[in-house]
Amino acid sequence: NETGFELWTTDGTTEGTQMLGDFNLGTKDGVFAGGGSSKDRFLVFNNKLYFTGIENQQFTLWATDGTKAGTAKVENMTSTHYFPQDLTVFKNELYFSTSFNGVFKISKNTEEVVKVMDIDVPYSLLATNELLFAISGTEISVTSGTLASSKLVAKINSPSVNWNGNRMVELNKKVYFPN
């Protein structure tokens, strides 16, 4: 293979199936899909596809309008925002977690990347109508969209806690999760 793992598109025909671009030139992967699920790292929001891309061994947030020319890294991302995942829409803004630096959003007014939760190694995000929930280690936290509103809800002291791969769901205004 002349390229690594890259972003492809199809219209359902052989002729209409093609690689959108080799974003990490050569045989290195340009799109991250290993570990977890692609739903955590691919999200359509405001007529763009957001995804975790790789360039020069840096995992960053990318966006595309579906064209090669319209595909680029999201501006205002820094090394603090390394390895974006758990892409989630909450209150009409794009939220994501990072490997070790918490949960962030891209402000709809300024497109600035803003920290909304200061937690270590978030595993999963869930947006409800009023709150954004996050799982980190043995803790469940919430925010209404600002760092000031972020708070710890509970610490689950159980020897069997393993959030990796577990997800939260909402039913009748309550959040459910396996433990």
Nearest to 53 by CA among 72, 37, 68: 72
- The whole-number average pLDDT for the span 31-49 is 72
Confidence grade of residue 177 (pLDDT, cut at 50, 70, 90): confident
Nearest to 132 by CA among 115, 109, 113: 115
- Quick: pLDDT tens for 113-157: 889 999 887 878 999 999 999 988 778 899 999 999 999 999 887
In this model, does residue 111 exceed pLDDT 90? Answer: no
- The confidence score (pLDDT) of residue 81 equals 72
- pLDDT mean across residues, the chain: 82
In this model, does residue 91 exceed pLDDT 90? Answer: yes
Confidence grade of residue 35 (pLDDT, cut at 50, 70, 90): low
- The whole-number average pLDDT for the span 89-96 is 93
Strands (DSSP E) contained in 65-121 are: 71-73, 85-90, 93-98, 102-106, 113-117
In this model, does residue 38 exceed pLDDT 70? Answer: no
Do the bridges between strand 18-21 and strand 7-9 make them parallel or antiparallel, or are there none, so unpaired?
Answer: antiparallel
Whole-angstrom Cα distance, residue 102 to residue 31?
22
